[in-house]
């Protein structure tokens, strides 16, 4: 996974997922996103390795993908 893909995942996809369908932010997902962002910023500053992000990215990417699959399923069954 490239740095730009990780940034897109953290700053767009997971951020939107944590705020979806509710005026209340999904706090657990947001905590995971913030922890991953902290490591991402440390990597940008040279204080962490890019590989340190992979455990966070794997979990968050899976959540985003499951959500996308659910949305596709809902759309195909509601039409």
Residues 11-43 have pLDDT tens digits of 999 999 998 877 788 999 999 999 999 999 999
Q: Report the domain count for the chain.
A: 1
Please give the residue range of the domain that contains residue 20. Answer: 3-78
State the pLDDT at residue 79: 66
Could you report the per-residue pLDDT of 36-68, keeping only the tens digit for each? 999 999 999 999 999 999 999 999 999 999 988
User: pTM value?
Assistant: 0.85
Which residues does 25 contact at the CB level (< 8 Å), separation at least 6?
A: 18, 19
């Amino acid at each position: 996974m490239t740095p730009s893909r990780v940034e897109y995942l953290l700053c767009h996809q997971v951020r939107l997922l944590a705020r979806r369908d509710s005026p209340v932010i999904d706090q657990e997902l947001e905590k995971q996103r913030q922890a991953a962002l902290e490591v991402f910023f440390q990597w940008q500053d040279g204080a962490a390795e890019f590989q340190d992000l992979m455990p966070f990215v794997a979990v968050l990417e899976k959540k985003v993908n499951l959500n996308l699959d659910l949305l596709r399923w809902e759309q195909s069954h509601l039409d």
